[in-house]
Structure 1
Amino acid sequence: MYKITLDPGHGGSDPGGVYGDLIEKDITLTIAVECEKELLRHGIKVQMTRYTDKYLGLSQRTTMANNNMSDYFISIHCNVGGGDRGEIIYSIYNGKGLEITNKISNEIMNIGQTQVKTYNRMNKNGRDYFPLVRDTIMDAIIIKCAFIDNEEDNKIISTIENQKIFGKAIAKGILSQLDIDCTDVD
């Protein structure tokens, strides 16, 4: 049985990006819970790093995934700063990070995101720059679904219904990576 750790970014005293009434920690939790529902429905064992509005440090999140011996660690975020696309950052060291990145990227574009930039980033020591992908022992990615301070991106992420659509899209990408039929995910 496959095991996935879903990590709704931020939480508690760390709201993440904020734009008007859009708060990243709330958006990421909605997306992750919907993704979890689809994965569970397809027989995947899912560990969530949080179900409530609580703060977790980066090392707490990666330790949970490592202790669970997850097949993939998926950290869900949004962006602020005036950009206009989604992004997925994947690990440079664990074999299938780029594969799952491409599958999730395709699903996110299928729901209306005009572009999803995919990349990895190394630190000065030649290791993954971001602790969320560097400190896991499985393939790990960070999904930045949209820029919440961009009016075009807001059209596809500003409502709970749209956030749930993102959750299903991410689930479809994960299921596709695991070679599990996901044609019934709408």
Structure 2
Amino acid sequence: MAYKIVLDAGHGGEDPGAIYKDCKEKDDNLSLALAVGKILEDNGIDVVYTRNTDIYQTPFEKARFANEAGADYFISFHRNSSQKPGQYNGVEVLVYDKKGIKYQMAENIVGALGELGFKELGVKERPGLVVLRRTKMPALLIETGFINSDKDNQLFEEKFQEIAKSIADAILGTLDEETLESPLYYRVQTGAFRNRENADRMLYLLVDQGFPAFILKENDLYKVQVGAYLQLGNAVNMEQRLRDAGYSTVIVTR
């Protein structure tokens, strides 16, 4: 299967992100996104960048860009910061929720960076982040160390190419696992539309109500579905929640 991945270099333009000494987060984010993208492209991945120059985009624009590109994954690059220099150090990956292939990919990335010497802060849920909530595909946000940590900065500078390769290898390894295993998931479908705009309206309503919804295109239909569960009982529970919220539902498998 050919994958399309949108890589997002966080911040940009008039938004520098976090700043420490001579380091600006937006520059580190762009350098790493391009380096990871080059490795992915060399391995047959269709890579699309939200930016490859120093421009600013709102989080909503980034999410819309990824959705319109029809991407299979969205990965955003950032560097962390804290109130006091040297207060914290380590890497973490943020996801909408700890479910599905995005969670496995996030775990793999954290582990790969940990092997390079970064402290592993783990995978954390951040459902309020626009680029994780508004994207219609599995989405991750990588915090590659604290920009105001001298220890993390030394690792970032001295092992930059290794960091890029470790992240790319973790992504590629996760995609290989997905292709080989392909487990059966139960999903709750709330609608199937020939018109994409109708599907989008239902999707945004579901997401605003806190449901982990997405759109799947099959046979010229845009299917709005919620969740991906290995256990039928979990799908049944979600179906009941959706029905209580006024949706017509059917449980499907994939």
TM category (shorter chain) comes to 0.7 to 0.9
Cα contact 1:104–1:169 (8 A) shared by 2: yes
Cα contact 2:10–2:29 (8 A) shared by 1: yes
Report deviation, 1:145: 0.5
Alpha-carbon distance in structure 2 between the residues aligned to 1:103 and 1:86: 12
Name the count of aligned residue pairs. Answer: 172
Q: Which residue of 1 aligns with 2:202?
A: none
Secondary structure in structure 2 of the residue aligned to 1:15 = coil
Please give the residue correspondences for 1:1-80 in structure 2 after superposition, counting only pairs within 5 Å: 1-80=2-81
After superposition, the C-alpha distances for 1:90-140 in whole angstroms (9 at most, x for unaligned) are 12286322111011111111222122321103xxxxxx2111100000110
Cα contact 2:107–2:122 (8 A) shared by 1: no
Q: Percent identity?
A: 35
Report deviation, 1:162: 3.0
After superposition, the C-alpha distances for 1:157-186 in whole angstroms (9 at most, x for unaligned) are 1x2x53333222211111011118xxxxxx
Q: In the alignment, which of 159, 165, 169 is matched to residue 162 of structure 2? A: 165
Alpha-carbon distance in structure 1 between the residues aligned to 2:53 and 2:4: 21
Secondary structure in structure 1 of the residue aligned to 2:161 = helix
Cα contact 1:94–1:139 (8 A) shared by 2: no
1:100 equivalent to 2:105? Answer: yes
Secondary structure in structure 1 of the residue aligned to 2:139 = strand
Deviates more, 1:63-72 or 1:35-44: 63-72
Change (3 A) 1:105 1:169: same
1:119 equivalent to 2:124? Answer: yes
Alpha-carbon distance in structure 2 between the residues aligned to 1:93 and 1:153: 26
Cα contact 2:74–2:137 (8 A) shared by 1: yes
After superposition, the C-alpha distances for 1:3-31 in whole angstroms (9 at most, x for unaligned) are 10000110000000110011100001110
Cα contact 2:11–2:17 (8 A) shared by 1: yes
Q: Aligned AA for 2:149?
A: N
Unaligned 5+ segments in structure 2 are 178-254
Q: Quote the RMSD (CA, aligned, Å).
A: 1.5
TM-score by length of 1: 0.87
Q: Aligned AA for 2:97?
A: I
TM-score by length of 2: 0.65
Cα contact 2:12–2:57 (8 A) shared by 1: yes
Secondary structure in structure 2 of the residue aligned to 1:145 = strand
More strand by share: 2
Structure 1: 4+ residue segments shifted above 4 A: none
Q: Which residue of 1 aligns with 2:139?
A: 140
Structure of larger gyration radius: 2
Deviates more, 1:28-37 or 1:171-180: 171-180
Secondary structure in structure 1 of the residue aligned to 2:100 = coil
